[in-house]
Amino acid sequence: MRFKRFGASLLVTGLALLGAASPALAHSELKSSDPARGASLATPPTQIKLTFSGPVTLADDNPIQITGPENASWTVGRAEVAGTVVTAPVKAVGPAGEYTLRYKVTFDDSHASSGSVKFNLSAPAAAPSSQSQPSSQAPAPASSASPASQAGETTPEDLVPSWVWIVLAVAVVAAGVVVALRFTRRKD
């Protein structure tokens, strides 16, 4: 009887620890972007907006880059961070086609993350005139992508999903229960 109580209490303790630790195992990630992943835009945006699941800081001096067909490279202005949202003005120049927005940020848990969001421009982006200056307050055009497709691509840091860590923790707790039960049986 003492043997079963010990095993049950060890199991309950292990599950409680696992339940408390699982939020810490999850890394923050890109929740949405504007332009959205897979969006098809008729006109280029004047700013980009990245929304993350946790607060971020910029990883370096050039945290956002946008490149496209025929070596097109957009001019990205100074990125601003407001908690979980990063915005930056952009000047688009280049042909119609697929563009890739690359980002580098650091989360509060000090884990650095980089990723990319691909979108399409259906018409060429003409060189901006000297009067047109992008504003960080200008709204970005609506995109045709669904909310489910707005998350960024996974990065090497995110290759091990949370469920793997949970299964590993359960296996460690189960092994501890087995060892405890064997030692208890030997004493009886």
Q: Is 67 helix (H, G, I), strand (E, B) or coil?
A: strand
Helix (H) or strand (E) run with residue 47 in it: strand 47-52
The pLDDT value given to residue 128: 52
pLDDT averaged per 10 residues in sequence order, the chain, 188 residues: 63 62 62 94 94 88 91 92 94 93 88 90 73 44 40 45 71 83 72
> Residue 29's closest CA among 51, 14, 47?
51
The pLDDT value given to residue 156: 44
Residue at 76: amino acid letter: V
The pLDDT value given to residue 73: 92
Neighbouring C-beta atoms of residue 187, cutoff 10 Å: 7
Note if the pTM is more than 0.75.
no
Q: How far is CA 168 from the centre of its chain?
A: 23
